[in-house]
Structure 1
Amino acid sequence: VGVYLSFFPQLVAGPIVRASEFAPQLLTHPDPRSVPTAEAFRLIFAGLFKKVVISTFLASAIVDEVFNLPDAYSGAEVLFAVYAYAIQIYADFSGYTDIAIGVALLMGFRFPQNFDAPYRALSIQDFWRRWHMTLSNWLRDYLYIPLGGNRRGTLFTYRNLFLTMLLGGLWHGAAWNFVVWGAIHGGVLAAERFVSTIWRRRVEGPVLPEALSKALRWLYTFHVVCLAWIFFRAETFEIATSMIGRILGWAAGPSPLVTTLLVLTIVLMLVSQFVPAPVVDGLQLEFSRLSWVWQGVALGFAIVLVDVLGPEGVAPFIYFQF
């Protein structure tokens, strides 16, 4: 128990590794010679790049300024600050878990995947299959199922979905913003379940072309997630409502914070979510086949790239506060 609790790569924020997953690996005494170092270092440097370069840039370029005083900025700047925060928290948190998984792998331990392109989700239910997956599984096994899951009828299922996400919000901290964030996700999960049930009963076959249907579902999902992120990030309820008002009213004014580099960063990070898994796996396989010399050169280049592109001073990981 002591070793499990003190194993530093999985502490603080995740991935949430259960004793049943960790203890058997501990008992097998991993052989250092069999450690997949190429995969481990790739994860570590990918995590560093996401944290040091992407997350820090977005925070300093627009997120911190706008969330501190939204009334001073145009509707476009507020909207892009929300988009930027969605990318920032993903880059920050998935970057941390990449580093944790990579460090554990160097020590011979394999931890579960924690993110699977969450911003390609086509529903909030799909989002939670992809975002902080170990927390999603924990909430399902220790809250949703003990509450009754979907075993006691439709209304109880909706209630259990809502309560699970509400408590998931409180898991992040006993503050109003996390409660609202959890309530939004819980309410939309229940609504999706309700609409899906009615839709299957009354509609036969597709109503829209598949490509258009997927595009609309993606837009809906991404913007619901972004709406919830406003409350998650805002320090006060007034700031959150002010930001929503600036966006809906499309407050006029110049938008100097919405730069080409900012828009390009957000777009590329979103596009990267749609890269097919076989392509990513193929690139990883090709890297692992390189000689140790070329792997070292590539990793050295990655270190220099992070150092050059990363700004001075890097804030702590966002999830360290939870």
Structure 2
Amino acid sequence: MNENQLAENLMNYRKKKGLSQEKVSEYLEVSRQAVTKWEANTSRPSSDNLIKLAQLFEVDVDTLLGNGDREKSSTQGEVSIGKMPWVFIGISVLCILAYIIHSVLTDIFSIGIFICMFIVCIPIQLFLHAYFSNAIKNDFFNGIAGFDDKIEYNICEVKKLLAQIDLHIGILSTVSIFLLSVINGLNLKMQWFNGILIVVYILNFITSIEMSNYKMTDKIYRREDDRKRAKRSIPVTVIYTLILCVGIGMTGIIFEVRGIENNTLAAMKICGLLILGIMSATIGFLFENHKIKKWNPANTNYKTNIVVIISVFICVIMYGFMWVV
């Protein structure tokens, strides 16, 4: 970075905005002399003030520092997904084809298992890879869950995160499809394993994404307030996912242990309690996320609302009733 370039940019962008040094100092809550020193290149603004200046002048920090073009060209070239996800997609397709051929020859085809493998491979593995590739290539992130135009991101780090997630989804999906095809293709009579595998897949799928996001929070978000909100919301999402997976897993175990058949009164009661528990947890999750978005970390410490605690408590009670109905 050219130190003189920063000083020149500060002066040029200020004049383009028609602002005086005094107005800039009031916006930043610093002295006018500090702004004068920055523009004279005798001192340098802090990182927080650089971010505020970039927001005031409606440019990104890299542009303000004078290395925006260089940074943009270098980051665009260095972040790419690569070919490995396509390799995993190909393996998944081969596993599905092998299962179909083997099932036709042995007459043990299961439409349920085929649908599970198809959903994991096509809508999840293939679609998400295509979507992430397009986002990284064209800098289009608006359709990605959690992305907010009002938040200032480090786009290069967002791309790296998406590339990591895409690779992880590819590995996880391919392993799951392979295990489903082998266990059911060989007719090993392990129906309970299918349920556990699907639950583990869902849990791993979501928690791995959230954990990757959590680890890179400091790099992804430019503003400290956004980092704090993200670090507060990510564990909430993980806990909610865990609650869902526990409920689904418990349902499968109860059906297996007690020998409950589908379309019976007991089955409907258990599924009804599961739905009530999930609905309660969902209400708490949505309420908590909404509160986190409205939270101002600079003014107050965050406290979990009593509504969330009650919703989780109700969910636990519903799950408990599933064992005794």
TM-score (norm 2): 0.27
Q: Which has the larger radius of gyration?
A: 2
Greater relative contact order (Cα < 8 A, sep 6+): 1
